[in-house]
Structure 1
Amino acid sequence: MDIVPIAHVSEDAVEALLDDAFGTDRHGRTAYRLRAGTRAIPALSFAALDTAGALLGTIQCWPVRIGDAAMVMVGPVAVEPAVQRGGIGRALMQAMLDAADAGAWPPLMMIGDPEYYGRFFGFSADGTAGWIVDGPVERRRLLARARAGQPMPAAGEVLPRPE
């Protein structure tokens, strides 16, 4: 498997994978509202390809904000259903975190499973109780991760941050 910038994969292939992984009704989810009108951040968005070049998985990151504080929304992390549980999503997350930690990126946030993303990647719902999102979300699944010394917004509405 190779992990490459998502720009190396056609948008149609990414959309087809997202449909396979999450269903064609995925656009109504809260996460889509939070990134409406934005573009994925190329430096933090990756694709996993098999040795023949077939798309196995993707991760995308999006610019959002809380008040004047910039943040990066992680997700979706999508893996072709036939190869899920093979470490592809984990490798994509690690590639994104390595890129985020190497750069001057703002804190990360996501809607996800706290047991998984907390255990393996340091995300936590601690400090997100004051955040407001447009749409339904289980509060325990609203997660954030910041590097040491990086300020995290305590309260406010999570909104898209168009470029």
Structure 2
Amino acid sequence: MIQMVPIDTIADEAVEQLLDRAFGRDRHVRTAYRLRAGTRALPALSFALIEREALLGSIQCWPVQFDGDDGTVWPLVLVGPVAIVPERQQEGLGRRLMEAALAAAAGGPPLTLIGDPEYYGRFFGFDAAATALWRLPGPVERHRLLARGANVPATAGLLGPRHHASAAA
């Protein structure tokens, strides 16, 4: 039986090994890693799937902020990575993790992620409508920079790490 557990009950090394298998060892050079540099995943929004003590998948959510060019600061949550062991992909496990994270994040700051717009738009309501003027600390394919939620900033500014975040968001 597959169980969902808080990610902080899983050894960090096991999560890192899963991420290496899912995304490769060079994953640390991606812009998403720059967005969460120096922060810790939000425990209340981050989960793992286990089966008979084997880690099948994980989702982590991170505190980020959008610094508008007008001086306004918006707290946001960066969703991802969503990782599933390669041999269990296409079984709906990633969707299950996303649904748990979205439910846990309900009522909190807007969410953002870098991902497939067709998938995350169709199933989870993310889109790139508000992110066109956002700058990031690295390259990004503009159509893959997605957001959802009330009060998503639709203005020019910089997305980056948020170092003073509460445990929930």
TM-score by length of 1: 0.94
RMSD: 0.7
Cα distance in 1 for partners of 2:47, 2:119 equals 20
Aligned partner (choices 82, 94, 97) of residue 89 of structure 1: 94
Shift of 1:136: 1.1
Q: 1:8 offset after TM fit, Å?
A: 1.1
Aligned to 2:45: 44
Unaligned runs of 5+ in 2: 68-72, 165-169
User: 1:58 maps to what in 2?
Assistant: 58
Is 2:163 the counterpart of 1:143? Answer: no
In the alignment, the residues of structure 2 paired with residue 97 and residue 126 of structure 1 have an alpha-carbon distance, to the nearest angstrom, of 19
TM-superposed CA distance for 1:152, in Å, is: 1.4
- Corresponding residue for residue 110 of structure 1: 113
| Aligned residue type for 2:37 | A
Residues 111-151 of structure 1: per-residue CA shift (max 9 Å, x gap): 000000000000001111010011111100000010xxx21
SS at match of 1:120: helix
Tell me the amino acid that sits aligned with residue 35 of structure 1: R
Aligned to 1:25, what secondary structure does the other structure show? helix
Shift of 1:49: 0.6
Equivalent-residue separation in structure 2 for 1:132 and 1:92 (angstroms): 28
Partners of 2:148 and 2:160 in 1: CA distance: 17
CA displacement, residues 16-49 of structure 1 (integer Å, 9 cap, x when unaligned)? 0000000111000000001101000000000001
Gapped regions of structure 1 (runs ≥ 5) = none
Local SS of the residue matching 2:75: strand
How many Å separate the matches in 2 of 1:135 and 1:159? 10
Q: State the identity as a percent.
A: 61
Count of residues paired in the alignment: 157
